[in-house]
Amino acid sequence: MSNLLKTELYKLFHSWYFWGIGIFNLFLSTILLLDSKGKSSNLIMASLYNVPLLYFLIIVFIALFIGSDLGRRTLNTYITAGHKRSCILWAKVIVSQIGCIIILIFPLLMHGVISQFCMKEKFIWGDNGYTILLVTLLAMITMCTLPIFLAFIFRDMGRTLAISMVLFFVMIFFMNSEYAQTIIKILPMGQLRLISLQKFYSIDFFLLVDFLWNVILYMVAGNVFLHIDLK
Partner 1 sequence: MNSIILEARGLTKEYKQTIALDHINLQIKKGKIYGFIGQNGAGKTTFLRLVTGLAFPTSGTLALWGKSSKEELQKQRKRIGCMIETPALFPAMTAYQNMEVQRIQRGIPDKSIIKRTLDMVGLQDTGKKSVRNFSLGMRQRLGIAIALLNTPELLILDEPINGLDPAGIVEIRNLLKSLNKEYGMTILVSSHILEELYQTASEFILIDHGKIIEEISDHDLNERCKRHISIKTTDVQKTVMVLEDNLHTDNFRLMPDGTIRLYDYLNDLELVASILAESHILVTGLSVSGDTLEDYFLSKIGGMKDVKSPKN
CB 112 within 8 A of CB 44: yes
Reference 11, options 91, 73, 72, 65; nearest CA is 65
Q: How far is the CB of 148 from partner 1 (least distance, A)?
A: 19
Cβ neighbour number for residue 226 with a 10 Å cutoff: 12
Question: Whats the size of the chain, residue-wise?
Answer: 231
d(CA 95, CA 76): 17
Q: How far is the CB of 33 from partner 1 (least distance, A)?
A: 32
| Cβ closest to partner 1, residue 11 vs residue 37 | 11
| Cβ closest to partner 1, residue 208 vs residue 228 | 228
| Cβ closest to partner 1, residue 21 vs residue 209 | 21
| Cβ closest to partner 1, residue 10 vs residue 173 | 10
> 39 to each of 25, 33, 123, 139, 203, how far by Cα in Å?
20, 10, 15, 20, 21
d(CA 97, CA 84): 20
| Cβ closest to partner 1, residue 111 vs residue 155 | 155
Q: Which residues bind partner 1 (CB under 8 A)?
A: 3-4, 6-7, 10-11, 14-16, 72-74, 76-84, 227, 229-231
Q: How far is the CB of 166 from partner 1 (least distance, A)?
A: 27
Q: How far is the CB of 162 from partner 1 (least distance, A)?
A: 21
Burial of 7 (0-12, 13-18, 19+ CB in 10 A): middle
Q: How far is the CB of 164 from partner 1 (least distance, A)?
A: 22
